[in-house]
Amino acid sequence: MALFSGAASARIIPSVSLSSSRSFFSLSSSSSSLQCLRSSPRISHLFLNQRRAEVRVSSGGYGTVSAPKSFASDPDQLKSAREDIKELLRSKFCHPILIRLGWHDAGTYNKNIEEWPQRGGANGSLRFEIELKHAANAGLVNALKLLQPIKDKYSGVTYADLFQLAGATAVEEAGGPKLPMKYGRVDVSGPEQCPEEGRLPDAGPPSPADHLRQVFYRMGLNDKEIVALSGAHTLGRARPDRSGWGKPETKYTKDGPGAPGGQSWTVQWLKFDNSYFKDIKEKKDEDLLILPTDAALFEDPSFKVYAEKYAEDQETFFKDYAEAHAKLSNLGAKFDPPEGIVIDESPNAGAEKFVAAKYSTGKRELSEAMKQKIRAYEAVGGSPDKPLQSNYFLNIMIIIAVLALLTSLLGN
């Protein structure tokens, strides 16, 4: 899953796209029903009118509509859209291509340009034909086709937010870390606001490490974040007929899920873990793909420090990946409201959680509320958050029995 390109079965880094392009960010899904919409006569007609309309792929067919006015997303619709995306992932196994879509929309950011939307970033511009035709984005029209029915259903969610929501949900549903995402991204209004081609990374440049730094430093990311984001290549496959990379089929991909074929970076290519780093380091399986930009992670001295660490410590990889993914998805975006919208806040986030270990050492000063819970615990023998009624009544019965015994003894 090359990070910024791919189609129905790619992955997230050195772009393994659906055409001859070799982009570093190539991810692709595994749905067999997706075909390039560009082959449709109606889509071909849309290409001719790209400057005036955006591509819309709905469940009822293809068509053109005028670009919508930019607006912030509705929190309730974001939550509902996320549930629909989860169902889509369960039925289509399209985790890789949805991650790739989000990364390619965000990965055009240029920190040296201040003005929005000229600076690029996650702004929904990838829905327009002119940007979809960039070589690194080959096949991403399939991802747009998958998400368009959800966009049609939830008009209060911007394309920019939908693309990032889909990518984040795909990571989490594949077993990856919970991502600290925020929403409220504003969409660009027309194709004239799309970035020029050439801002996304390649999979096989002459100097892979230098190329990765050139692209990611331009976005304001560092070596640690480059390596962490590369780890998303644990998902997806590359297909030689689409990207020029990989084998037509391996023992890991011949049966799908989804359309069979292609070459994956990992054995379980729909599971998000740190096996990508382990497999690159070992280089023992010829059926697993290693692109030049993958190999650079263990060849470049600075990259190697992080790659080695992630191969040994999945928890550290998950932590660093979550931070890097969220940072990438925010760079260059214009938020309304400016602070963004968080849809995962827990209503009890500020409450002090009862943990027995907190008062087992005697070394920590407890809050008054915690002391009251402990006293309640000691009084009835149950959990302070949920007293054990059976212990409570048992204590009463014991007291009554003791009193009866004492009364009997005194009476005698």
Residues 6, 104 contacting (CB under 8 angstroms)? no
Cα-based angle 48, 52, 55 (whole degrees, multiple of 5): 70
Q: How far is CA 7 from the centre of its chain?
A: 17
Q: Is the dihedral of CA 171, 304, 269, 21 positive or negative?
A: positive
Q: Which residue among the candidates 95, 104, 134, 325 is catalytic per the annotation?
A: 104
Distance CA 26, CA 170 (A): 15
Residue whose tokens read 């998902």: 235
Distance CA 219, CA 50 (A): 28
Count CB atoms within 10 A of the CB of residue 172. 19
> Which of these, 290, 6, 342, 45, lies nearest to 168 by C-alpha position?
342
Between strands 61-65 and 54-58, the pairing is antiparallel
Residues 310, 274 contacting (CB under 8 angstroms)? yes
Distance CA 125, CA 128 (A): 6
The residues near 379 (Cβ < 8 Å, ≥ 6 apart) are none
- For 119-136, give one letter per residue: b (16+ CB within 10 A) or e: bbbbbbbbbbbbbbbbbb
Residue 233 annotated as catalytic: no
Residue whose tokens read 């309730």: 76
Q: How many CA atoms lie within 13 A of 122 on its CB side?
A: 30
Residues 10, 27 contacting (CB under 8 angstroms)? yes
| The token pair that represents 111 in the structure block | 């920190």
The secondary structure of 207-222 as a DSSP string is SHHHHHHHHHHHTT--
> Which of these, 42, 54, 44, lies nearest to 128 by C-alpha position?
54
User: Residues with catalytic annotation?
Assistant: 104
